[in-house]
Amino acid sequence: MPDALLPPPVLVADPLALERLAAALAREPALGVDTESNSLHAYRERVCLIQFSTPAGDYVLDPLALTNLSPLAPLFANPAQKKVFHASEYDVLCLKRDYDFQFANLFDTMVAARTLGRPQLGLGSLLEAHFGVTLNKRFQRADWGHRPLTPELLDYARFDTHYLLALSDSLAAELAAAGRTEEAYEEFERLERVNGGAVPSNGANPHAFWRVNGARDLNPAQAAILRELFLYRERQAERADRPPFKVMSDQTLFEIARLAPQAPADLEGLPGMTPQQVRRHGGQLLAAVRKGQASPPVRPPHFEREPDEVRDRYELLHQWRKTRAKARGVESDVIIPREALWELARRNPRTPEALATIETLGPWRRGAYGSEILKVLQSS
């Protein structure tokens, strides 16, 4: 277990404390960083905690108590200061979405472990393997938007960053010994550029109801009902500030759309429709069914199918990547990301100069795999 004799983490929840923290962190060459969000407990997810660790201590910042986090922006954007995350992509996406932070000099311990071919990639597994530390995951699904924060929650949150600097040092040494440093840093740089606008807001997409499992198996009239049911659930979730799945499951929406019940008794026995749910939502669900039946039928959005020659090239590249990954003992996208395979298949470069124009393929990967990729494409 983590050291019980550690001093408690420092809670940062007012502007003056934030200014002091930012000044202290700015003097450090490297920071351990993590975030906690409330996607399991709120309609619109937001960052609820930002944790930092340095050799001097652990800090838990409360964004819900602060209206301006701009003092942190220079830290995240500073190319001379390493920011160590574990599984950083979603943290970076959320921090960009909520605060428009930009990132430089990121180190991701999970990416480093993947690059090294580690079979166990969770933070707990890595800490146990490197330091014999066992993390307590008791509060893994806690509501981080709830206040006040208890000492137990603060202590739990701090351990997601407490060991990150030591872990990054250990993994960096392994990367160097394996000759994989440049490869890992190319992936770190890709993560710095992820698009914060890519994190969806509930209900923002008018076609979002098509994501319900089985939606594309419905006929157009049933799909129109599903759309109205989905919109009803979104309104209820927003009003209650709860995730939509906690209001009603996708399976429930699908079955109601498929069967188009006309009376409260028809709802009874459907998946998720307990007597309480029927009392609470039955009338509105039946109204949504009637509205859907009165609406024009809807059909799935049309997506252009890739030409056969592109799909054929993609399959050749995909098989090459799979073989390369198996030989090295890593997951396939460690070799080349899926988006890069599609760009290669679409643009079909035949020379090193053309290969250099593939934006999703970094210089390390071009140097390591470029000649093999060109041979695969030339065989197509």
Residue 17 · residue 116 · CB < 8 Å: no
Q: List the alpha helices (DSSP H) in 61-108.
A: 73-77, 88-99
Give the CA angle between residues 312, 316, 317 to the nearest 5°. 115
pLDDT at 199: 56
pLDDT at 301: 87
pLDDT at 202: 52
The residue among 151, 174, 198 that closes a domain is: 198
The residue among 255, 270, 294 that closes a domain is: 294
Q: Which of 321, 323, 326, 330 is nearest to 118 (CA)?
A: 330
Question: Could you tell me if 357 and 278 lie in one domain?
Answer: no
pLDDT at 2: 62
Mean of per-residue pLDDT scores for the chain = 95
Distance of CA 223 to the CA centre of its chain: 29
Domain that holds residue 332: 308-378
Question: Could you tell me if 144 and 265 lie in one domain?
Answer: no
At 51, is the secondary structure helix, strand, or coil?
A: strand
Instruction: Please compute the mean of the pLDDT values over residues 293-304 and round it to a whole number.
Output: 91
Question: Could you tell me if 192 and 217 lie in one domain?
Answer: no
- The beta strand positions in the chain, using DSSP E, are 10-12, 30-37, 47-54, 57-61, 82-85, 106-108
Above 70 in pLDDT, residue 4? no
List all residues 6 or more positions away from 168 whose beta carbon is below 8 Å from its beta carbon: 30, 32, 82, 84, 107, 109, 112
Q: Tell me the CA distances in angstroms from 246 to 146, 214, 272, 274, 298, one per residue in order.
A: 17, 19, 11, 14, 26
Please give the model's pTM, rounded to 2 decimal places: 0.91
Distance CA(273)–CA(266), nearest Å, equals: 10
Q: Tell me the CA distances in angstroms from 52 to 35, 56, 72, 181, 297, one per residue in order.
A: 9, 11, 11, 24, 52
Structure tokens at 226: 């599903």
Q: Which of 300, 336, 334 is nearest to 317 (CA)?
A: 336
Instruction: Please compute the mean of the pLDDT values over residues 323-349 and round it to a whole number.
Output: 97
Instruction: Please compute the mean of the pLDDT values over residues 303-320 and round it to a whole number.
Output: 94
pLDDT at 195: 87
Q: Give the number of domains in the chain.
A: 3
pLDDT at 1: 54
Q: Could you tell me if residue 1 is inside a domain? A: no
Q: Could you tell me if residue 62 is inside a domain? A: yes
Above 60 in pLDDT, residue 203? no
Q: Could you tell me if residue 140 is inside a domain? A: yes
Q: Could you tell me if residue 303 is inside a domain? A: no
Residue 35 · residue 60 · CB < 8 Å: no
| Cβ-based neighbour number of residue 27 at 10 Å | 9
Instruction: Give the tens place of pLDDT for each residue, 137-188.
Output: 889 899 999 999 999 999 999 999 999 999 999 999 999 999 999 999 999 9
pLDDT at 200: 54
Question: Could you tell me if 110 and 148 lie in one domain?
Answer: yes
- Specify the CATH number for the domain of residue 31: 3.30.420.10
